[in-house]
Every structure is written in C-alpha cells, then in structure tokens.
Amino acid sequence: MKRLSATAWLFMAAAPAALAAGLMAPTERAYAQSQSAAQAPATGTDDQAIQLEEIMVTGSFIRREGYNNPSPLEVIDRSDMGAQGATNITDIVKNVAVNTGSEFNFDRTNQNFTFGTAQFNLRGLGLGSTLTLINGRRITRSAAVANDGSQFVDVNSLPMNMIERMEILKDGASALYGTDAVAGVVNIITRSNFEGFELEGRYQTTTENSQEDINLNAAFGAGNDRSHISAFFTYFDRTDLRGIDRDFFPNRLSPETDTGQGMPGTFFPAISDGNGGFIQAPGAPGQPAGSLAVPPPSRQTGTGPVPDPRCLDQTGLPDASGLKIIGPGADTRAGIGVGANVGVLGPDVRGFCAFNFAENFSIVPDERRVLFFTEARHKLNDRLELFAEFNYADNRSTVDASPSLPNQFEAILVPANNPFIPTVEELGGINPVFHNPDGSPRAVFAQFRVKNLIDGSGQMQVDSETWRAMAGLRFDLSDNWFGEVHYQRSENEVSFTDNAATVFSFTEDALAGTLRGFEGQFLNPFASEIFDRPTDQALEDAVMRTSERFTKAEQTTVEGFVSGTIESLQLPGGSVGVAFGGSYRKNTFLLDNDGLLEIGDSFFQPPSPDGSGDIDVYGFFGEISLPVTSRIELSAAVRYEDYGSAIGDTIDPKISARWQATDWAALRASFGTSFRAPNVSQTAIFETGTQRLNDPFLPGPGGLSCDANNDNAINVAGGETRPINTAFGKVGNPDLTPEESTNFNVGFVIEPPRSNVRISVDYWNYDVDDVILLEDNQAIAFNDCLDDGIANDPRITRTASGTIIDVSRAFFNGASLETDGVDLNVSYDLAMGRFGDLNASAVVSWINSFDIDLGAFGSGEVIDGVGSRNRTNPFRSVPEWRANFPVNWFYKNHNLNITARIVDGVFDDQSLVQVDAETTFDVQYQYRLDGLLSAEDAITLTVGAVNVFDNEVPVIPGETFRFDSKLHDPRQRMLYVRLKFEG
C-alpha cells in the first residue's frame, strides 16, 4: 500500500488554513455556456447572453456552477477546434501547449507497431500517464503497444465531429479516476444534445510533393423531452509522403540512412567444422583473411566482415546510389575512398557493404479510417433515465519500408556449389574468402537482403479495429441527490503485417538449390544479382512471406457513483456536497504471433513467443466539497484501488481550494498523489521489435574498440559511431509496482472590470517515484562503451564480427522524476463597433525542470531533461517552452483567424547538436451563409493554410530521418478547403 511521507501529511493538514490565507490557482473558463452559446463565435461584448448552469466538470463528481472548479482546467470547444483548422483529434493533440512527446507522426526507427495512432502526453510524463475519457468514462486502451511498453487511448479511433468540447485537467486526478491520471485527464464531452443534420467535406494538400487528406463527416440528431439520439460518422483518407520528397530528409549519400546490412551483402570466411559442416572462421573482427589454405592453428584467418567484391560498382544502379564501405577504417583502408567507383575490391578490404534506405521510407503513412459514434437516452420517468453509447473504428495505415530485411542474427551459409560465387576471372585473381588455392569456389557465410533497392519498397501495414458499447442508468434520489451506474465493454484488435519478411530456412535451401518446388535453382546473394545475373523472380518470392503479429486489448468496467448535497449540514457558503462510488475493471491483453515468428525462422526477428494476461481492479472513492464561505470552497477526495497480490493496492488523496478574493480575482490550489499501475504488456509479455541505434564500438584489427576518453563514443554527427538496425526484446517484469506521484498546483486568475482582459497563471510541480520504464537500448550501448571501454554488457548480443544483433531490455521501477513549470493564459476581447470584434490570446507553457534519476540503472547522476530530446534516456523530447498566439476577428458572417505557434529548440543528447526552435503561422478565413435553402440551414465555407510560410522542420544531423517526429510535422505547408452544411 502507498505510504505518504510525513511532509505530505503535514502539507495536507495545513493546506486548508494556508489556502484560506491566499494560495492561488486559476480557472480556465469562468462560466459554462449553453449549447447554442458555445456554438456561436465569442464576441466578448458586455451584453453577451451567458446562461449559467450547474454542471459536473472534469475533476469532480459534484455539480458546480459553470467551470469554477478548484483544479486547473483548460477547455477546448468546437469553435477553438474549428479555428485551428483541425482535420482530426491528432491535430488538436500536437497543438496543445501542455502536451509534449506524443507519437503522432510515423517514425519507423523508434515506433514499431503504433504508427497510425495518436495520444495525449501531458507534461511529457509518458504516453500512459494521461487518462483519456469519453463523458467521464474510461475507454479501452490501444492494443498497439509503444516501444517503451506504454498503452494509451488512441484518439484516432474517434470522429472529431462528435466532440462538443475537450476538458483538460492539468493536475493529477487519481483520487477520483484511478490509474493513468498521473499527468492529468483529457475528458471528451460529446454533442449529446445535437439536433438536426450536418454534412461536411474537407480537402487538404501539401504545396510540395503533394500529400493529400480527404475528410467526410456527417452528423444526425433528433429527440424530444423524453428521448434523444445522435450519431456521428467520419471517413478519412490520407495519401502517404515519402521521405525523399522533403529537402531536410537524408538522400542516398547520407550516413544517417546507411546500414551495413544490405544488398550487395557482406561475407565471412567459412571453415570446416570436421563433421561435414562449416563454421565462421575465428579471429578478431577486421583482421585480414590471410591464407585459408594453411591448416590451423598456424594460419591467420579473421571473421571479416568482407564486403561484396563488387560493392563499389555502381554500373546499372540509380545515379548517386551511394554504394560504399562502412565500418572499420572504411574510408581509408586499402586506399579506397567512400563511394568511389573503383569496381572490384581487393581481398584485404574489410567493412560492411552499405545499404542506404533513404528512398524507401514513408514519413507520413497512407491511412484510411472509418469512424462511428452514437449515443441515446430515454427517460423512464421523472427520476430514471437510460443512456447508452456505441463507437466503432476501422483504421488502416500502410507505410513503405525496406524492400526486404537482412539475416540479422546468424550469417547464412552459401555452399560451394552455388553458381553465383564470384569466379577468379570475375575478381581478377584468387580471393581466399571465396576461392580455394586452386581457384575453385569455397563455401562462405553471408549477410544480405534478398531484395535490393532496384526492387523497390516493402510495405508494413497496421489494421486496427475498435468497438465500445456502454449502457447505464441515471437516477435522481431526491431534488438534491443523483447518481448513475453503467456497464461498459470495449476492445481493440491490431494486426501488424510486413510483406518484406524473409524465411531463414527457405533461404538456406534456396542458396543450396534444394528449395522444395525449385530444386536445381539457386538464389544469388552476390552483387551480380543486381548487375548482370539476376535471381529468378519466382524463387525470390518463394523465400519471402508476409509476417503477421496480432494483439488484442479488452476492457470491461462496471462503475457507479452517488452525488448530492447534505442540506442539514450548512456552512456559511452553503450546503456540503459529497460524492462516493466504486468500480470494477478488468483489462486483458493478448499477443499472437504467426508460426514462423514464434520459432524465430525469420531473417530479422528473434523467436517471439505468444503471451496473454489480465488484471482485475477494484476501486472505491469519496469526495467532499466544503463551501466555507460564499467565496472560499475547500474540496477533498480519496480513492482506494486494489490490483491483487501481484501488484498490490494504493490509496491516493487530493485536496484543493478556491478563494474568490474579489469579483474579478480568484486564487486556488490543489495537492494530491497519483499513480500509474503497470499494464499486462509490462508485467507478463515478452515482445520483440526493431530499432535503429548508433553503436559506439567500432570493429578493427584488434577487435572492438571504444574511445571513451572523449566525445567520440556519442558523436554521431562526427561519424564516430556505426548506425545499426537491430532487434530488441522487451522482458515483462511481474514484480513491477505502481509508480507514485505527488503533485501540487498554485495559481490565480484575474479579470479586471471593464478591461476585457483575462489572465491566469499556474505553477505546477510533479514528483514521480518508482517510474515504470523500459531500459533504453541506445543508452545501454553508450554506457557499455563509456563504462570500461569493453563490449561486455550481457544485455547486448553481437555477431562474431561485432555487430549488435539484439538488445534485451527489461522494465523496471528504479527511476524517479521531478518536474515543474508555469502555464500562462492571457486573452483580450475588443469590440470594434461597425468593424466587428477581435479576440487575441496567448497560451504559454514553460518547463523549469525535468530532472531524471535512473537510480540503479543509471550512472548515479541526475539528468537534466528539460530542453533535451532525451535520446540517451527513456523519456521523450521536452522543449523548455511551447506557445500559441491566436488572433480571431469576427465581422458579421466573416471570421479570420491567424495563429502563431512556437516550439522551443532542444539539445540532441545523442548527436550533441542544438536543434532549432520552430515558429509557424496558420491562417484561416471562414464565411457563413445563413438561410440559403431554408430559415434553419447554414452553409459555411472555410479556406486556410497550415504553416503558411512553409518553414522547414528543424534538422537534426545524425537522426535517421533528420527531424524529431514527436515535435514537428514533416508535411510543412498545407492548404485546405472545407464546406459544411447544417440543416
């Protein structure tokens, strides 16, 4: 059970008095608008009709007047979303100032199975640390698990036109909602009262190397005093964008997209094992092959790597294809220049024949989404009401990738009878790696790809199907007491397929000419397959297949609460409000790999066992609101959750207060604890994936070496490390416990009379212990090099030549994080008479600190993560500040919006370079024509531009795709037009 420190208990005991004395916290909206008012443009005039109502806002189960909530709440309504020119919820995610580190772009090297998804990551505390709700209720987390083991709600599974507003609670809320609310809550409030019909179409295109989005939305709603139903539908279609269509992206000559696992391939001398088989010749990596004709032990052998003898021959390849040698002294060994067209290499050259995949990869997936949401309610009588919701999503995302994958884990034998082994005549002499002393061919081990660059790209595809059904009962116990109970069932199924997978056993037979159905036909693993002796296409296809990985996440919840006021318990400010309730939740996760992935009969994936597990959670909570005076309100809540004996239980309290100091100034504060429980994927599943890293160990004549006395070990930009595409294993840890967080928020909001100015300021602080993290493979490689300069970390598996083929990573609770900062919100309304109305705002989030302590898994030093990409630790990019500056002008049926967006620069701790800040401008014009077809209808035409000045994303030398996919949008300037009919 969680134990609060004495300091924490003292703070909680003293907080009410301190708060009454003036602790401060803001409110983001001072009132709630009725539906009709919320849909109309805000004019900011004094005589605007504002209808106040008692509502239940995010962060409380007690009804209050408007948004006067004791916790910091940011509200994004439909007019805000429309002014942003948002196509889907992802566009909202990337523009929220307090959000950082979300995965909303495709990044093949750091994002294996989650492309096509998007999620909130408030404060940068982790993809699983923000709780996303629909109308205050949990929804299923995605079965597409992030590389770090995080599960999250995929907001791409929801149609945006269903949203009335999004309430973002910017402090911890586990006391009411339970796990995952560490950083806060995003509550999506739906258009429950929508009536009529809407039809909307949107087209968007980039202005360079066209990438297009088509969006079709429809909405319907009808009802009466007793019943109501509404339905929302979205069809979304997006074309892909290839990396080479952007100037910042690496070209075919760029080292960032080089890999030493290519076609042409790399070879390793083979010797007899004495039993009729062969083994790789022993010796230090990078040694010359010597004379393999001399019996051991007197001969000098060496394991290679030996590049294909025609690696630098560019005949017949695309211009500037960039074939070159990378690895041990590749740019100077034997006098060969990188990329030089020198034809056939000599027998003493060592290194890896480079494969540059720049032209293969998409940076924006091809996507298709079909989204549906409906909700209904029916009053049984004046006190009972039935309600239900159902949503469905069918999403597909496809990206181009490498034409095929190399044999990562084991070099494969090319028997001496393979007719494609280079002849003495082709090489201009005997090469002891490929020839016996008499010139006859000899067996050799190979690392290569079946498909080459000329064959084009392979495809990876994610198919995601989500459904959720919820039904419940609302009840009024009296005029002052109400409640609800609901049952919910939801699941997400994800199928990941890769058509570039190569079967090891099939390829082994094809190299020997014994593949079933192709007896006597041989696969060509040499450069001649590209230039003049191609393999039969049918044989190539026969050794490749489409691999499939299937995951499913299910969630079942039963929740209920009762809320009301105790009229007999009166304080000077009114009646005491209370709420209490409970919940049961069951989460399950299933991983099912196809048969060849399970046994590891794959060129690039280690054995990937199936797995499954589930977690049952019981929770109970209570909340109380104390109106001490008409201007001071204190609130407190506490929640208990039990995860069973394996994980344990936790108690989390929260207290908050609001002091309306004057009619135009409010002060408030909150303090509490939160937690995030480990998911099934982190506790019970062994998963594999692939990731690109830079290996600071370089093979050479004396073996692997690391220069740990200077920055060479991590100076990627200087070319001192070797880029490697490698596999990793995620090892589930059944001993994980929930991570625990203490957070507090203080601030103020002022609205000086007759000034039309509103200012709110928050200071926030999070102290998170026992953070659930997955060890970082890049950090493991760097720390191995810098520790003692010897490649001896047991978590890293290398080939005989020194190439990393696998990094085994475990989940752990050993880290802690402390972060704090300030949020600033300023808005100004100006009534300009016959020239219309103007609204200008500034929304700024500044992070003061982001201090990471990896505990026993780190160096013992606290890492300063603010203003860093955090590539050498398990966190994500954390710019010091982000800001949005929207200006809206309203004139009759016209609306013009101009928004400046700034994302601060970050220091790339991997390449040791400073990444520039990014400033972009969005412009939108909207014209509304009312009553064209009838008195009730309206047609709205919108045109706009995102990043109107076409600013390029900041370049990161050494990063695979040269940009930060978690901060910047590679599409750059986009133009859009939207036509909407309302009837």
* Domains defined along the chain, listed by start: 6-239+365-400+462-499+548-695+712-982 (2.40.170.20), 255-358+408-447+522-542 (no CATH)
C-alpha 621/C-alpha 650 separation (Å) is 12
Contact 42, 839 (CB under 8 A): yes
Q: Residue 94 above 90 pLDDT?
A: no
User: Which one is predicted more confidently, 669 or 812?
Assistant: 669
Q: Give the C-alpha separation, 475 to 696, whole Å.
A: 64
Q: How far, rounded to the nearest angstrom, does the alpha carbon of residue 967 sit from its chain's CA centroid?
A: 11
Q: How many degrees, rounded to 5, is the angle at CA 850 between CA 169 and CA 824?
A: 45
Model pLDDT for residues 115-165, shown as the tens digit of each residue: 889 999 999 999 999 999 999 999 999 999 888 888 999 999 999 999 999
User: Which of 182-191, 726-735, 952-961 is predicted most confidently?
Assistant: 182-191
Local structure of 154: helix, strand or coil: coil
Token couple for 849: 């600190």
Using one digit for the tens of pLDDT, what is the confidence trace for 870-917? 987 888 899 999 999 999 999 999 999 999 999 999 999 878 899 999
Strands 804-831 and 722-731: parallel
Span 689-717, pLDDT tens digits? 777 777 777 766 566 777 544 343 344 33
Exposed / middle / buried, residue 481 (Cβ in 10 Å: 0-12, 13-18, 19+):
middle
Query: At 504, is the secondary structure helix, strand, or coil?
Result: helix
Tell me if residue 765 falls in helix, strand or coil. strand
Question: Mean pLDDT for the chain?
Answer: 83
Q: How many whole angstroms from its chain centre is CA 55?
A: 33
The mean pLDDT value for 304-316 works out to 72
Strand ranges, E, within 70-172: 73-77, 130-134, 137-138, 163-169
Among 111-115, 250-254, 623-627, 657-661, the range scoring the smallest mean pLDDT is 250-254
Nearest to 140 by CA among 117, 123, 161: 117
**What span, in angstroms and rounded, lies between the C-alpha atoms of 353 and 264?**
6
Handedness of CA 853, 859, 864, 865 (dihedral sign): negative
Q: Flag whether pLDDT at 474 surpasses 60.
A: yes
Distance CA 869, CA 879 (A): 8
Detail the DSSP E strand segments found in 604-644. Answer: 611-627, 632-642
Between residues 251 and 26, the one the model is more confident about: 251
pLDDT of residue 243: 87
pLDDT tens for 201-233 read 999 999 998 899 999 999 999 999 999 999 999
CA dist., res. 45 & res. 66, Å (int): 19
Distance of CA 297 to the CA centre of its chain: 53
Percent of the chain with pLDDT over 90: 52
Which has the higher per-residue pLDDT, 481 or 311? Answer: 481
Cα dihedral value 674, 167, 558, 121, nearest 10: -50
Alpha helices per DSSP H over 686-845: 777-788
Among 54, 76, 77, 81, CA closest to 67:
54
3-state secondary structure of 795: coil
Question: CB 174: neighbour CB atoms within 10 A?
Answer: 32
With beta carbons less than 8 A apart as the criterion, state whether 896 and 888 touch: yes
Q: Is the CA virtual torsion 176, 182, 183, 186 positive or negative?
A: negative
Which of 564-578, 677-691, 716-730, 927-941 is predicted with the least confidence, judged by mean pLDDT? 716-730
Model confidence at 34: pLDDT above 60: no
Given a cut of 50, is residue 605 above it in pLDDT? yes
Residue 686's beta-bridge partner residues?
731
- Residues 880 and 871: their CA atoms lie apart, in Å, by 16
Scanning the structure block, which residue is given the tokens 């480079």?
Answer: 354
- What pLDDT sits at residue 326? 66
Please check whether residue 943 is in contact with residue 922, taking contact to mean a CB–CB distance below 8 angstroms: no
Residue 722: strand pairing partners: 695
Instruction: Compute the distance between CA of residue 290 and CA of residue 350 in angstroms, rounded to an integer.
Output: 12
Q: Would you say 498 and 546 are in contact if contact means Cβ atoms under 8 Å apart?
A: yes
Give me the pLDDT at residue 780, please: 84
* 822 CB-contact burial (10 Å; exposed 0-12 / middle 13-18 / buried 19+): middle
In this structure, are residues 974 and 943 in contact, taking their beta carbons and an 8 Å threshold?
Answer: no
Measured CA to CA in angstroms, residue 800 lies from 4, 86, 286, 445, 582 at distances of 51, 52, 11, 12, 58
Residue in the block written with tokens 């220091």: 907
How many other C-beta atoms are found inside a 10 Å radius of the C-beta of residue 651?
A: 16
Report the predicted TM-score, pTM, of the whole model to 2 decimal places.
0.86
SS3 content of the chain, % helix, strand, coil (to 5): 10, 45, 45
Measured CA to CA, the distance from residue 967 to residue 961 in angstroms comes to 13
**Alpha-helix runs per DSSP H in 710-869:** 777-788
Residues 118/123/125/127 CA torsion (nearest 10 deg): -10
Pairing between strand 366-379 and 227-238? antiparallel
Residue pair 567/522 in contact by the 8 Å Cβ criterion: no
What's the pLDDT tens digit per position in 329-386? 343 333 333 333 345 676 667 777 877 777 788 899 999 999 999 999 999 999 999 9
Res 299: pLDDT: 33
Q: Is 530 in contact with 263 (CB distance < 8 Å)?
A: yes
For residue 929, list its beta bridge partners. 939
Give me the count of residues in the chain. Answer: 983
DSSP per-residue letters across 74-100: EEEEHHHHHHTT-SSHHHHHHH-TTB-
Phi-psi region of 316 (alpha: psi -120 to 50; beta: other; left: phi over 0): left
* Distance from chain centroid for Cα 734: 24
Q: How far apart are CA 195 and CA 983, in angstroms?
A: 9
Asked if residues 429 and 376 have their Cβ atoms less than 8 Å apart, the reply is: no
Tokens 């360079």 belong to residue: 208
* pLDDT tens readout for residues 571-581: 999 999 999 99
8-state DSSP, 245: G
Q: Which pairs count as long-range contacts for 10-17, CB under 8 Å and 24+ apart, including other chains?
A: 11/671, 11/744, 12/653, 12/655, 12/671, 15/655, 15/657, 15/669, 15/671, 16/634, 16/655, 16/657
Residue-level pLDDT at 39: 33
* CB of 138 closer than 8 Å to CB of 488: yes
Q: Cα(626)–Cα(618) distance, rounded to whole angstroms? A: 28
pLDDT digits (tens, 9 = 90+) for 945-967: 999 999 999 998 878 788 998 89
Annotate 834-852 with DSSP letters as a single string: GG-EEEEEEEEEEEEEEEE
How far apart are the C-alpha atoms of 116 and 135, rounded to whole Å?
24
Tell me which H or E stretch contains 444: strand 444-447
pLDDT tens digits, residue range 385-433?
A: 999 999 999 999 999 988 888 887 788 999 999 999 999 888 888 888 8
Q: Mean of the pLDDT values across residues 435-461?
A: 89
What is the mean predicted confidence (pLDDT) over 722-746? Answer: 84
Share of the chain above pLDDT 70, in %: 84
Burial of 544 (0-12, 13-18, 19+ CB in 10 A): buried
